[in-house]
Structure 1
Amino acid sequence: MSIDNDVYDRLGDGWWDEHNPLNLLHGSFTAGRFEYFRSILARDPDGLRVLDIGCGGGFLAEEFARLGCRVVGIDPSAVSIGTARRHAAGIDYLVAAGERLPLRDSAFDVAYCCDVLEHVTDLESVVAETARVLRPGGLYFFDTINRTLASKLVLIKVAQDWRLTRMIDTTLHVWDMFITPDELTAVLRRHGLRVDELTGLGPRRNKLGLVWDFVQTRRGRLTYGELSRRMDTGRVRGLQVSYMGFAIKA
């Protein structure tokens, strides 16, 4: 079974629509990630040059722009880039892939990949390009999915395979493409990026309530946006399903 990355073209005009499955990645996901990333920025972020690799509809790009950062967002989906451009001015959006960034060396203070690394077929190239465009001492924020039995149960079986709870009728994820923390740390190290911290990322809603919310969403009784908010996604203790962190360019 191959991953369906074309879904971001098919549904990419509705990233900001709460009834669109892609809006699940907003709500508490955007808030939880951004709260953590913002806590790492030790100084005033105003004027920082920030690169969003795999920006989708611009959820996180707009958060960094509100801080006063100069944001560039890239995504291989032209439909998603069109949506991001229409939703917010002042952000430079480009149709491009992480494996080949049309950007100069050492151009950014911060780069990040969220909901991206587990979708790419050439992780080494994406990380190498990210490292190339970061200045020495620059920060790399990331999150991805761990390859464990827990992630197979939650993100493959419950969220994708089971008819009563799956969020969308396509293959959003392939378990073999998930990345363990040790694997990601090794790849980052090979390209001059030193991991400083890893922490869990996940829903803080109780498990039974979460499964019920999935069922209700599948039945059309909850929007994807409301489901995301109810999940209360953010920093959690365990790395068994998803994790996030940051690295520093040597």
Structure 2
Amino acid sequence: MEKISTEVYEKIDNDLYNADGDIWWRPDTVLHILKTGVNPCRVGYFKKVLTRLNIDPAGKTALEVGSGGGILTEEVCKLGFETTGIEPSENSLNTAINHAKQSGLNIKYEQGFAENLPYPDQSFDCVVCCDVLEHVMDLPKVISEISRVLKPGGLFFYDTLNRTFVSKLVAIKIWQEWKRWAFMPPNLHNWDMFIKPQELKTLLAKNNLDWKEHRGSSPSVPVPTMLGYLRKRAKGTWSFVELGEKFFLVESNDMNILYMGYAIKGD
């Protein structure tokens, strides 16, 4: 893959993350679903990989690239890592800082961009990048920077959206555009910026990151049931809290919409 054109990039609305107030931790906001409907799946997967590799996070350093309001960053910290989060949005960053203080978590947050990470080479034992790769303009540069700041043998965890017909129908049309079911803001994602697994594997290989596996992240219920749940939310019968209790992601073999995986930095 190459750097996204300005024309394609401007179709995505990253300004959502600059909105006033706490758009992350309030239960009446769409981003709160990350906590209830997305994190359990991916954090469970990360834990499984750490166990499989016999890695104890205690005393090791982790960086979350694109940390937003800290919803995933706090989970990384709770795993035992000495955790840093980097985020371009000042509003999201302030939300994350305040929430970490309220939660008694020692997390270092900094403002910055994934294409130019302000850290020396080989600074971290682990880098986590979720819900971000499909939002950046220069994906090759982001992967290069992640590899640069990882120590040899360090872990790179990620998840992203696959560019398939199914993901266009579900993630763009149903989740984002068709008002009968949509629960995401319009233009939150641009299908042209979604990443095929093989494309990501190629970028990893070019940057001394040894790809290990991919796993799918699928809705917990069949499509007809999902549509019924989303309709209840759209009509106001359900809140985002109730939607998150019923509709969430589970690890699967199906990578048609979302997938997650990890790679290890070479020597």
2:127 aligned residue:
111
Q: CA deviation at 1:212?
A: 1.2
1:5 aligned residue:
14
How many pairs were matched up? Answer: 250
Q: CA deviation at 1:12?
A: 6.2
Residues 214-223 or 105-114, more deviating? 214-223
Looking at structure 2, the residues matched to 108 and 38 of structure 1 have their Cα atoms a distance apart, in angstroms, of 18
Q: CA deviation at 1:93?
A: 0.7
Q: CA deviation at 1:117?
A: 0.5
| Matched AA of 1:68 | G
1:134 aligned residue:
150
Q: CA deviation at 1:161?
A: 1.2
Q: Is residue 56 of structure 1 aligned with residue 56 of structure 2?
A: no
Q: CA deviation at 1:13?
A: 1.9
Looking at structure 1, the residues matched to 69 and 185 of structure 2 have their Cα atoms a distance apart, in angstroms, of 21
2:165 aligned residue:
149
Looking at structure 2, the residues matched to 198 and 248 of structure 1 have their Cα atoms a distance apart, in angstroms, of 13
Looking at structure 2, the residues matched to 95 and 225 of structure 1 have their Cα atoms a distance apart, in angstroms, of 30
CA contact (8 A) 1:12 1:57 kept: no
1:84 aligned residue:
96
Change (3 A) 1:12 1:110: farther
Q: CA deviation at 1:14?
A: 2.1
Change (3 A) 1:135 1:169: closer
Q: CA deviation at 1:65?
A: 1.2
Q: CA RMSD in A?
A: 1.3
Looking at structure 1, the residues matched to 35 and 86 of structure 2 have their Cα atoms a distance apart, in angstroms, of 18
Tell me the secondary structure at the aligned position of residue 14 of structure 2.
Answer: coil
Q: CA deviation at 1:189?
A: 0.8
1:15 aligned residue:
24
| Matched AA of 2:170 | V
2:3 aligned residue:
none
Task: Show the 5 A alignment for 1:56-205.
Answer: 56-89=68-101, 90-205=106-221
Residues 63-72 or 151-160, more deviating? 63-72
Q: CA deviation at 1:168?
A: 3.6
Tell me the secondary structure at the aligned position of residue 124 of structure 1.
Answer: helix
CA contact (8 A) 1:18 1:226 kept: no
String of CA shifts for 1:103-144, please: whole Å, max 9, x gaps. 111010000110000111100111011000000000000000
2:34 aligned residue:
25
Give unpaired runs (5+ residues) of structure 1: none
Q: CA deviation at 1:194?
A: 1.2
Q: CA deviation at 1:64?
A: 1.7
2:46 aligned residue:
37
Looking at structure 2, the residues matched to 209 and 11 of structure 1 have their Cα atoms a distance apart, in angstroms, of 34
Q: CA deviation at 1:21?
A: 1.4
TM-score where L is the length of structure 2: 0.90
Change (3 A) 1:160 1:11: farther
Q: CA deviation at 1:211?
A: 0.9
Tell me the secondary structure at the aligned position of residue 14 of structure 1.
Answer: coil
String of CA shifts for 1:8-39, please: whole Å, max 9, x gaps. 11166220111111112220301110000011
Q: Which aligned segments of 4 or more residues in structure 1 are displaced greater than 6 angstroms?
A: none
Tell me the secondary structure at the aligned position of residue 196 of structure 1.
Answer: strand
Q: CA deviation at 1:227?
A: 1.7
TM-score where L is the length of structure 1: 0.96
String of CA shifts for 1:146-178, please: whole Å, max 9, x gaps. 000000000111011101111144211111100
| Matched AA of 2:175 | A
Change (3 A) 1:142 1:169: closer
CA contact (8 A) 1:138 1:249 kept: yes
